[in-house]
Amino acid sequence: MQRTFSIIKPDATRRNLTGAITQKFEDNGLRVVASKRIQMTTAQAEGFYEVHKDRPFFGELVEMMVSGPVVVQVLEGEDAVAKNREIMGATNPADAAPGTIRADFAESIGANSVHGSDSLENAGIEMAYFFNEDEIVG
Ligand code: CMP
Protein backbone atom coordinates (compact mmCIF):
# COMPACT_ATOMS: atom_id res chain seq x y z
CA MET A 1 0.00 0.00 0.00
CA GLN A 2 1.28 3.47 -0.90
CA ARG A 3 0.04 7.02 -0.78
CA THR A 4 0.69 9.62 -3.44
CA PHE A 5 -0.15 13.29 -3.85
CA SER A 6 -2.27 14.75 -6.65
CA ILE A 7 -3.41 18.20 -7.77
CA ILE A 8 -6.37 18.78 -10.04
CA LYS A 9 -5.17 21.98 -11.74
CA PRO A 10 -7.08 25.21 -12.49
CA ASP A 11 -7.61 24.36 -16.17
CA ALA A 12 -9.58 21.31 -15.01
CA THR A 13 -11.52 22.86 -12.11
CA ARG A 14 -12.51 25.69 -14.48
CA ARG A 15 -14.05 23.15 -16.86
CA ASN A 16 -15.86 21.36 -14.00
CA LEU A 17 -13.78 18.17 -14.39
CA THR A 18 -13.10 17.46 -10.69
CA GLY A 19 -15.57 14.57 -10.61
CA ALA A 20 -14.54 13.08 -13.96
CA ILE A 21 -10.86 13.11 -12.97
CA THR A 22 -11.53 11.68 -9.51
CA GLN A 23 -13.61 8.94 -11.17
CA LYS A 24 -10.54 7.89 -13.20
CA PHE A 25 -8.54 7.48 -9.97
CA GLU A 26 -11.32 5.42 -8.38
CA ASP A 27 -11.97 3.33 -11.49
CA ASN A 28 -8.29 2.37 -11.48
CA GLY A 29 -8.11 1.26 -7.85
CA LEU A 30 -6.96 4.43 -6.09
CA ARG A 31 -8.86 5.72 -3.07
CA VAL A 32 -9.14 9.42 -2.17
CA VAL A 33 -8.05 9.59 1.49
CA ALA A 34 -7.73 13.40 1.63
CA SER A 35 -9.16 16.15 -0.57
CA LYS A 36 -9.62 19.90 -0.42
CA ARG A 37 -10.31 22.68 -2.88
CA ILE A 38 -8.03 25.66 -2.35
CA GLN A 39 -6.86 28.85 -4.05
CA MET A 40 -3.05 28.64 -4.00
CA THR A 41 -1.10 31.79 -3.30
CA THR A 42 1.83 32.73 -5.52
CA ALA A 43 4.23 32.01 -2.64
CA GLN A 44 2.69 28.58 -2.11
CA ALA A 45 2.95 27.69 -5.82
CA GLU A 46 6.55 28.96 -6.01
CA GLY A 47 7.47 26.87 -2.98
CA PHE A 48 5.73 23.76 -4.25
CA TYR A 49 7.48 23.92 -7.64
CA GLU A 50 10.82 25.13 -6.28
CA VAL A 51 12.72 22.32 -8.08
CA HIS A 52 11.65 23.93 -11.37
CA LYS A 53 12.63 27.49 -10.42
CA ASP A 54 15.42 27.74 -13.00
CA ARG A 55 13.33 26.35 -15.85
CA PRO A 56 12.19 28.76 -18.56
CA PHE A 57 8.54 27.86 -17.95
CA PHE A 58 8.61 28.52 -14.16
CA GLY A 59 6.81 31.88 -14.32
CA GLU A 60 4.13 30.51 -16.61
CA LEU A 61 3.73 27.43 -14.40
CA VAL A 62 3.22 29.47 -11.22
CA GLU A 63 0.82 31.84 -12.98
CA MET A 64 -1.22 28.90 -14.22
CA MET A 65 -1.39 27.27 -10.77
CA VAL A 66 -2.79 30.42 -9.13
CA SER A 67 -5.18 31.25 -12.00
CA GLY A 68 -8.07 29.49 -10.24
CA PRO A 69 -8.89 26.93 -7.59
CA VAL A 70 -7.12 23.58 -7.41
CA VAL A 71 -8.11 20.37 -5.66
CA VAL A 72 -5.26 18.82 -3.68
CA GLN A 73 -5.67 15.14 -2.88
CA VAL A 74 -3.94 12.18 -1.31
CA LEU A 75 -4.54 8.93 -3.18
CA GLU A 76 -4.01 5.53 -1.61
CA GLY A 77 -3.62 2.14 -3.22
CA GLU A 78 -1.26 -0.60 -4.29
CA ASP A 79 1.74 0.94 -6.04
CA ALA A 80 -0.08 4.30 -5.88
CA VAL A 81 2.82 6.49 -7.12
CA ALA A 82 3.39 4.54 -10.35
CA LYS A 83 -0.30 3.78 -10.81
CA ASN A 84 -1.23 7.46 -10.58
CA ARG A 85 1.40 8.35 -13.17
CA GLU A 86 -0.06 5.70 -15.45
CA ILE A 87 -3.60 7.05 -14.97
CA MET A 88 -2.42 10.65 -15.62
CA GLY A 89 -0.47 9.86 -18.80
CA ALA A 90 2.55 11.73 -20.16
CA THR A 91 3.18 15.35 -19.08
CA ASN A 92 2.57 16.54 -22.64
CA PRO A 93 -0.98 15.54 -23.61
CA ALA A 94 0.22 15.02 -27.20
CA ASP A 95 2.26 12.07 -25.89
CA ALA A 96 -0.33 10.73 -23.43
CA ALA A 97 -1.77 7.24 -23.99
CA PRO A 98 -5.46 6.99 -24.92
CA GLY A 99 -7.80 6.87 -21.92
CA THR A 100 -5.41 8.66 -19.59
CA ILE A 101 -6.49 11.87 -17.83
CA ARG A 102 -4.16 14.03 -19.87
CA ALA A 103 -5.15 12.43 -23.20
CA ASP A 104 -8.83 12.89 -22.39
CA PHE A 105 -8.80 16.29 -20.65
CA ALA A 106 -5.52 18.25 -20.86
CA GLU A 107 -5.32 21.33 -23.07
CA SER A 108 -1.53 21.69 -23.35
CA ILE A 109 1.73 20.83 -21.55
CA GLY A 110 1.16 23.81 -19.22
CA ALA A 111 -2.58 23.30 -18.77
CA ASN A 112 -2.25 19.54 -18.31
CA SER A 113 -5.10 19.10 -15.79
CA VAL A 114 -3.24 17.16 -13.08
CA HIS A 115 -0.01 16.95 -11.15
CA GLY A 116 1.13 13.72 -9.53
CA SER A 117 4.18 12.92 -7.38
CA ASP A 118 7.05 11.31 -9.29
CA SER A 119 8.45 9.25 -6.40
CA LEU A 120 7.43 7.92 -3.00
CA GLU A 121 9.85 10.33 -1.33
CA ASN A 122 8.37 13.35 -3.13
CA ALA A 123 4.85 12.09 -2.42
CA GLY A 124 5.61 12.36 1.32
CA ILE A 125 7.07 15.84 0.95
CA GLU A 126 4.27 17.09 -1.30
CA MET A 127 1.37 15.80 0.81
CA ALA A 128 2.94 17.33 3.92
CA TYR A 129 3.06 20.67 2.06
CA PHE A 130 -0.76 20.81 1.95
CA PHE A 131 -2.12 18.41 4.58
CA ASN A 132 -1.75 17.80 8.30
CA GLU A 133 -1.60 14.14 9.35
CA ASP A 134 -5.12 14.34 10.83
CA GLU A 135 -6.59 15.48 7.50
CA ILE A 136 -5.57 12.21 5.81
CA VAL A 137 -8.01 9.45 6.68
CA GLY A 138 -7.57 6.04 5.08
P1 CMP B 1 3.61 18.91 -13.29
O2 CMP B 1 3.51 17.45 -13.16
O3 CMP B 1 2.68 19.73 -12.49
O4 CMP B 1 5.11 19.36 -12.95
C5 CMP B 1 5.70 20.49 -13.50
C6 CMP B 1 4.84 21.13 -14.54
O7 CMP B 1 5.49 22.05 -15.39
C8 CMP B 1 4.31 20.08 -15.49
O9 CMP B 1 3.36 19.28 -14.84
C10 CMP B 1 3.80 20.91 -16.64
O11 CMP B 1 2.45 21.32 -16.48
C12 CMP B 1 4.69 22.13 -16.54
N13 CMP B 1 5.56 22.18 -17.71
C14 CMP B 1 6.49 21.30 -18.08
N15 CMP B 1 7.08 21.68 -19.22
C16 CMP B 1 6.49 22.83 -19.57
C17 CMP B 1 6.66 23.71 -20.65
N18 CMP B 1 7.57 23.46 -21.61
N19 CMP B 1 5.89 24.80 -20.70
C20 CMP B 1 4.98 25.05 -19.71
N21 CMP B 1 4.79 24.25 -18.66
C22 CMP B 1 5.53 23.15 -18.60
Q: Is 115 a catalytic residue?
A: yes
89 CA to centre of ligand 1 in angstroms: 13
Confidence (pLDDT) at 93 = 97
Return the ∠ at Cα 45 (arms to 2 and 72), rounded to 5°. Answer: 40
Tell me, using a 6 A CB cutoff, whether residue 84 lines ligand 1.
no
* Catalytic-role residue among 6, 33, 115, 117: 115
0.85 exceeded by pTM: yes
115 CA to centre of ligand 1 in angstroms: 9
Q: How much is the CA Rg of the chain, to the nearest whole Å?
A: 14
Return the ∠ at Cα 74 (arms to 65 and 50), rounded to 5°. Answer: 40
What does pLDDT average to over the chain? 98
For 6-24, how does the pLDDT look when each residue is reduced to its tens digit (9 = 90+)?
Answer: 999 999 999 999 999 999 9
